[in-house]
Each structure stands twice: as C-alpha cells, then as structure tokens.
Structure 1
C-alpha cells in the first residue's frame, strides 16, 4: 500500500508538471540580503539559487544558540525544517553546499567531546565523576530512536539532520527501534520530551528540544517519510517542489571557474565565529518586532487563513498556521545575521528591520504555495489552485458574471487576458461551470 501511494504521488506530480506553478523566490528577496547570505547567493542563479538559499537558511537555523522570539505567548527558537522535492538528476544536490557551512562547528563539538571522554578514561580516579556524553551537531538519518533521544538530551545546542536522500531517514522511521517521528513533531514547538525505560530504570526529560532538518528527495520519497498529510509532520515542514528539466551545464574549469568549496569554507568561518559568540553569551537574545510589523504579519496570515476557509480547504489550515511560526523564524535568522556586528556580551534584544520582515513574509508566501502543491499530491481528486487564484475565487459569489469576476481580478492585479485564461483553466478543472454566456457558477472542490 505504501508503494502504491508513493506511485500515486509521482503520477499526480507528472500531470501537474504541465502547468507553470512551481514558483521561484522573488528577486526582491535576494536584494541586500545580510551576509553571508548575500555573497553565497551571488554564486548561483535560477533554481539552484533558490535551493542553496533555502538550504542555507535551514542549516543556519541550527547555528544561532540563545536566540529566541515570543510567538503566541511562547518562546520559539530559529529551527526550520525544509524538504526539497524534485526528480532525479534535477539539480537539487546543490543543497549540499550549505552543509559545508556547519562542518567547522560539528568538527569542533565532536573533537572537544572526544577529548573530554578520553580525559575521563585516562583519569586515575573517576569516583563521583559522571562520564561525559558524546556530542555532535549533525544527527545522521541512519540512527536509532534511542540514540536520537541521547543526542538531543546532550546536544551542544541544536541538532541538524541533513540528508540529500530522504530514504535514509524514512527507512529508519519504518523500524520500531528507529521511529522518532514523535520527536520531530514535538521538537518543532520545543515541547518537552520524556523518556522512560523500564529495562534500564532510566527516566529523563529533554526540555526545549531544538532540531533543524534539511532534506531532499524525489516525489516517490514523500510518502515513505510522511505517511499522511494529517499526521502533523507534514505541517512542520517547508516544502520546495520543482520538476524543471535540467539542461547540461558547463562543468569545465573555464575562465570563470570559482572553487565553491573555498567559497563556502570561508563563509563557514563567519558562521563558526557567530555561533561561538552567541553560545558563550550569558544572556539570550530576544528578537523583537514592532507593532506595525506584527500587524502586517497578522494581515498576511489572516488573509491566507480566510482564503482556505472560504475555499473549504480547512484541512490545510494547520499548515498555514504553522507557517506563521516559520515566517517569524526566518525573520529571526535574517535579523541576527544582519546585526551580527552589533552583538556583544551585553546584547539582550535585537529589533527586526522592516526589510527583513518583508523578506520573511515574501519567502513564506512562496513556501505556502509549494507546500499546498505537495499537500494536494496526497489526494488523487485534489485540485491544485495557486494562492493568488484562491484569493480571487474566495472573493467571487457562488454565481457570478464575467464582468464581476474581471473587476475583482483587476483589483487583485490580475490582467484581463490572464483572467480569461484562469476562467478556462477553472472550467477545465471543474472548479466552475459555465451557466450561460458570460455566466459562471462555483463548484465544490477538494
């Protein structure tokens, strides 16, 4: 049954690929990004740029210790979950460049941890001294649930799951001894995880667990990892889906050759220094937003929520609501990077700029679009409708004329010719039915 469902997702994706719906991150987002993001994205273009940018946000979300904001009366940390979905050999492997940014942190944490363990082993007296636990930064997908609990409990700060093949993780989740999907769900909200093992008389709690995930896979690899769109794990991820045809590119060391390993190694030094500065601070940093920024954010998320309620797409609401947390986390990351030079031992607050909340909202809008598309792949009868069209559809009465529809479309910055194409597409998809010349009726959709 699992393979059959996975094949159905792949088939739906093939059909949907006929439409130009897989949006890029807006160009405005890439203007004046904080460092090192700004320099990193200059090395890429088109789809690769989006992949590297989003993957970099994902890995950096695990590298900002003691940074938080207050959202819905609760502290949240910057951790993000990203899943890039595309056919084989489509270029999604560009995500691996982002992993290089965290290597020095991982190496340092592991080296120091091994040194403490070795010192303990060589100590002449260990009476009353607890054996140091092994620490890491990268949490491999091929890991037992027991090890996940231990690594989270003893984490230096956040853990990062980075897997370019989602099967590495999903294969573990299928095993009784490797299923830690509950940990992934709880870590998103930093909920306390309690562990009790009768065989070893062990009980411990992991408070404020922090876990970031950056994954990639093919459409067939979605279902093995996330069995159902209702199980809660789906709504905790940002999805980025594309099926562009990847043409051959010049791979020779030509005159414009740039060693990207050197580029990312240099940027990793900046990330390493920032990580250390934040980790060794005595007081945490609270990222704050102005009332005007909060109001703009509220308006954006309210519109998205009302649109799906109006379209009777209530099952997607949990995704939209968690995207509110994701948007604020992105804004936190951008704020800390932009104000890196202002952070010292006394810094306890940073205020997000209007520019960075705008970027975070614009990124979130695109990611909601991609996640909606992937969400609809789970159901054979679902009809994918881009957000801009959903907003228009929500504004239309049940029975409407072309003239009424055009007026609303123009108010939504949809050109007359585009609106004519939208009507044809809606009619073909069974979203509306023609009742007469220039007269239409909205139909119930999934």
Structure 2
C-alpha cells in the first residue's frame, strides 16, 4: 500500500514574511516544521498535543519523517536542508530550541517511538500514572482550565521576557557535579543488568535533563527576586529536586520501554528481574549455581552464560573457570 503523502511546498511561490508561532501543530510536515522553527528564531517552539498519535500519524507520512529534527533539537544541533520545496534558499536553523509535551497511552507511545534504536527514547522524559475512579463535577460551578491557566500564562510570559533580556552563565557547585557524576556513573554500570545496551543512552541523556531542569528552577528564582546577575549558581534544594524528578522519570522509562519490542498484547515486563537474580546469588558462586538459580526466573543456561560474560568486570569477577565472586560495593 502506498503511503499517504502531503502537498509539496511550491518553490516559486512568493516569499512570505516570517510568522512566529510558539505552538507548532503536531499535524505538520517536515518542511513546514523547519520553516516554522527557522522563523521562530530565539523564540523556539513547543509541540503540545493531548494525543501522541497525532504526531505519530504526521511523522509516518512521506512528507513527515521528522524524527531526526526532534533528535537534533534536543542537542541544539544545527538543522539544515536544501530541497526543491525550499526554493532557491536552503533552510538553516542554528541552535534550534524545541520543547515537546504529549499525553497518550503506552500503545500510542510505542507507535511513536517504534524501538530503542529510534534514538528518540533517550531524549524524552516519561511519566506514567493511573487515575483513581473519582467522578468530577460537570455542573456550572466547576472551574475551567482556562480560568486556572490564564493567570499562570501571564507569569510565564513575563518570565520568558526576563530570560530573553537577561542572559546568564549557569553553574553547578563542585559538590553538585560530584553527586551528579556519581549517581549516573552507578546507573550506567547497572544498565548491564537490564539486558538492553540501549539504556546507556537513556542514562547519559537523563543526566543532561538534571542540568536543564536545574537551570529552569534557578532562572525562576532569579526572576522572582529580580536578580540581574550575569552568573548564577544552582542551590542545593533545586539540584536535589531536579535529580529526584529525573530519577523518577528514569524508573518510568525503564518500565515503559521494557515492552517496547512486544506486539502490544503482552503485559509490561519487570525491569528488575535480572537484578533480583544477581542479588539472590551468594558472594561467591559457580556457573552451575547460577544456572540453578536462574531457572526460577525462566532463564536458560545459554542466557546465564551470556549474562555472566557481560557482567564480568562490572559487578562480578571471574576467579577461575566456572567460579565467580561479586565485586564489593556493587
């Protein structure tokens, strides 16, 4: 079946003046998104939609396929293209700024990301939850979302202008850098237990998220106190909050991504099953003992041998043929 396509931009159409639009529709084409991000400049852009499937549908069209732009925008890498649809002038977006906020079901998430190899999974923070079955009033006395967010929107607009007019250099304290490096170094060693090397990218980029969330909180504090300093340091409260937020999202991402390769009909897998298996082993053990313990978790002898080989030097060490010892502090 042929993919659905979108109308191509007309290269000889008269040039229109730049039109800034903060919220970029999830239903868009590759070229249209590039043009909008270029026209927005320092304003950046936000993709917001209550249905993740909306972005998925647009991304799977022939004129979509903008996963690479989403990945580059996360790293603020330059985005460039020179198609016939662009006319005679190539599109260049330097240091793109793009935020994305989507809600949806696990099935919609899998359709959007596809697999770990997509590269987008490590650039997105995930949070899952279940709503309690509480009925919300639908009468005339209920408060609308517009009433709640309208005053907040005005405050955010003032914050945006403050940040735009007062650029700063952001710093972590030495103790904060040490804690960040230690925390994510431990996580990076532990991903071997997940049986999926692609989690390494999640750990590394989630460390970047700690810095970004810390920057946002620090800038809010600076705005609230009208501090015009050209250099700012993150306080310990904001750092700890940012770290807790990201570590929470990391656990949610492990849970969601554990079923990424399934058809969607299987339940979510326990991401800690390998860790629990290792913890059950004695401080010193043999391959036969590991195979016997692994049988309780449904692990084959072949999987046990592969696992012991990959963990050697990380959390265990091989003393002799078929004999292992857990590393202290691991």
Q: TM-score, normalized by length of structure 2?
A: 0.74
Report the 3-state secondary structure (helix = DSSP H, G, I; strand = E; otherwise coil) of the residue aligned with 1:241.
coil
Residue in structure 2 matching 1:308, options 191, 194, 201: 191
Say how many residue pairs are matched.
280
Match of 1:379 among 255, 261, 264: 261
Q: 1:309 to 1:220 in 2, by over 3 A?
A: closer
What is the CA distance between 1:270 and its match in structure 2?
1.2
Query: Aligned ranges for residues 41-440 of structure 1 at < 5 Å?
Result: 132-156=17-41, 157-198=43-84, 200-252=87-139, 260-281=145-166, 284-343=167-226, 346-380=228-262, 383-386=269-272, 396=279, 398-399=281-282, 429-430=297-298
Equivalent residues of 1:162, 1:214 under 8 A apart: yes
* Partners of 1:390 and 1:279 in 2: CA distance: 47
Residue 325 of structure 1 and its aligned partner are, at CA, apart by: 0.9
Secondary structure in 1 aligned to 2:48?
strand
SS in 1 for 2:27: coil
**What is the CA-CA distance between 1:351 and the residue it aligns to?**
1.2
Equivalents in 2 of 1:296, 1:165: separation in Å?
37
Contact 1:431 1:442 in 2 (8 A): no
Deviation of 1:244 (Å): 4.7
Give per-residue Cα distances to partners, 1:179-211, cap 9 Å, x unaligned: 211100100000111111246233132110110
State the 1:276 CA deviation: 1.6
Q: 1:430 to 1:149 in 2, by over 3 A?
A: same
In structure 2, the CA distance between the partners of 1:372 and 1:291, relative to structure 1 (3 Å rule), is: same
Cα offset for 1:223? 2.5
Structure of greater relative contact order (alpha carbons < 8 Å, 6+ residues apart): 1
- Give the TM-score of the pair, scaled to structure 1: 0.56
Ranges in structure 2 where 5+ consecutive residues have no aligned partner: 1-14, 285-293, 309-330
Give the 3-state SS of the residue equivalent to 2:24 in structure 1. Answer: coil
What is the SS of the residue equivalent to 1:220? Answer: helix
- State the Cα distance separating 1:248 from its structure 2 match: 2.2
1:427 and 1:373, CA in 2 relative to 1: closer, same or farther beyond 3 A? farther
Partner of 1:240, secondary structure, is coil
